[in-house]
Amino acid sequence: MQHSEMIAKIAAGKGFIAALDQSGGSTPKALKGYGIEEGAWSSEEEMFSLIHQMRSRIITSPAFTGDKVIGAILFERTMDGQVEGKPTPQALHDRGVVPFIKIDKGLEEEANGVQMMKPMPELDALLSRAKGLGMFGTKERSVIHSADRKGIAAIADQQVAVGLQVLGAGLVPILEPEVNIKSETRAECDQILLEELSRALTAMPGDDKVMLKLSLPVKPGLFDPLVDHPRVLRVVALSGGYKRPEACVELAKNRGVIASFSRALLEDLRAGMSDDQFDASLASAIDEIYKASTEKKAVAAA
């Protein structure tokens, strides 16, 4: 796919983005969910080989095509790996799926109710390599735990600053300021994030667009102004710990927002499944998430 084709698909394509970017400390948990216990590997290399096998199985499934999965977010090792003898980005291109890469290197300790992204001194080199491999965009995550405006404003500013660096490298960033769905002040976090992100986006120089990956808001439709913001290409939602049925119900309440689910996409897949069982389970999950991304429910005003 050419860059213009990928822009059009992400901006207006019907479907959702698969998050296949578990890394580091989250990999053992992802493998356990897949039915592979921690004792099944003896080194980090073996662990990452197992998770790559899982991702390869997903990407090559007949259910995983650009008809319903318009994009996929990869971990750096997955981007650098191969699927059926092809570089992973090329394998995705061949299936009509637009590739993104997770670029953040983890989170700082909590301060002012948030966890900022750790420094990324090698980001320019990573972006250059990603562009050369045919990647379209990036994703970078930080986390909001409580309704502290100073902390949330700092998150918004950091996300936009990294986004501008990504745009400068010719890639499209997904800014992900996640609100912890277990936060006692979650609704207030949503509102402050809306205000601070709107401020930071409006102040961005130039006219390039970014994407947003947000937690599903307590109040359906709260993020409509971000969906409509002139500097936003698309808004996607993380499942944030919801099981797939609940995540899909909440997603369907939010106009213009499509899924970018990880656990909610993969939760029923197991290593021991036959190929037919695996493909059927993945197809069912994709269909459910696709429907919630494309068929929206009217929500009565409170």
Q: Distance (Å, rounded) from C-alpha 23 to C-alpha 228?
A: 32
Q: Which of 140, 176, 250, 288 is catalytic?
A: 176
Instruction: Evaluate whether 244 touches 265 at the Cβ level (below 8 Å).
Output: yes
Q: Which of 9, 102, 213, 288 is catalytic?
A: 213
The answer to whether 118 is a known catalytic residue is no
Instruction: Evaluate whether 89 touches 3 at the Cβ level (below 8 Å).
Output: no
Under 8 Å CB-to-CB from 16, ≥6 apart: which residues?
Answer: 68, 69, 70, 71, 236, 258, 259, 260, 261, 289, 290, 293
Instruction: Evaluate whether 281 touches 272 at the Cβ level (below 8 Å).
Output: no
Q: Distance (Å, rounded) from C-alpha 239 to C-alpha 295?
A: 17
Q: Beta-carbon neighbour count of residue 272 at 10 Å?
A: 9
The neighbouring-strand residues paired with 73 are 19, 100
Closest by CA to 256, choosing from 285, 222, 302, is: 222
The answer to whether 213 is a known catalytic residue is yes
Under 8 Å CB-to-CB from 103, ≥6 apart: which residues?
Answer: 76, 120, 123, 126, 127, 138, 139, 140, 162, 166
**Structure-block tokens of residue 26:** 């989250």
The set of catalytic residues is 176, 213
